């Protein structure tokens, strides 16, 4: 294991910030929000932060939605009430946006 790997592993276990650069805290909600943001970019609802352009990739958007749905199924009964509500709400929003983008 490289010297830096121990730091990342310890931080991930404690849920602390991975760096002092202002990266978001590592927790389930921020992970789901990251996937949600990726889905919005793939649906063309948000600008891609790397290009500044809006483009649609419905195949990738569906893949992202399916990943979030799989996480919902696999984490059922293991999340806090707030995490469950967030996951359900974001998944519903992405599904609706997908249907609209496909039309």
Tens-place pLDDT, residues 31-80: 999 999 999 999 999 999 899 999 999 999 999 999 999 999 999 999 99
Question: 20 lies in a domain?
Answer: no
Any domain includes 45: yes
Distance CA 65, CA 59 (A): 10
- pLDDT at residue 24, rounded to an integer: 73
Please name which of 67, 57, 56, 60 lies closest in space to residue 90, comparing C-alpha atoms.
67
CB-based contact 75:43 (threshold 8 Å): no
Average pLDDT over residues 12-23: 56
Q: Classify 22 in phi/psi space as left (phi over 0), alpha (psi -120 to 50) or beta.
A: left
Q: Mean pLDDT of all residues in the chain? A: 85
Q: Is residue 19 part of a domain?
A: no
Q: Is residue 86 part of a domain?
A: yes
Instruction: Say if CB 68 and CB 94 are below 8 A apart.
Output: yes
pTM of the model: 0.76
Number of folded domains that form the chain: 1
Domain of 78? 27-102
**Cα Rg of the chain, angstroms:** 16
């Amino acid at each position: 294991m490289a010297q830096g790997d121990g730091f990342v592993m310890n931080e991930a276990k404690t849920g602390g910030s991975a760096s002092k650069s202002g990266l978001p805290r590592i927790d389930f909600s921020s992970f789901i929000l990251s996937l949600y943001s990726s889905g919005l970019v793939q649906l063309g609802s948000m600008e891609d932060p790397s290009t500044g352009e809006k483009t649609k990739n419905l195949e990738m958007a569906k893949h992202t939605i399916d990943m979030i749905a799989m996480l919902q199924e696999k984490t059922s009964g293991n999340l806090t009430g707030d995490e469950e509500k967030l996951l359900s709400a974001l998944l519903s929003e992405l599904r609706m946006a997908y249907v609209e983008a496909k039309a």
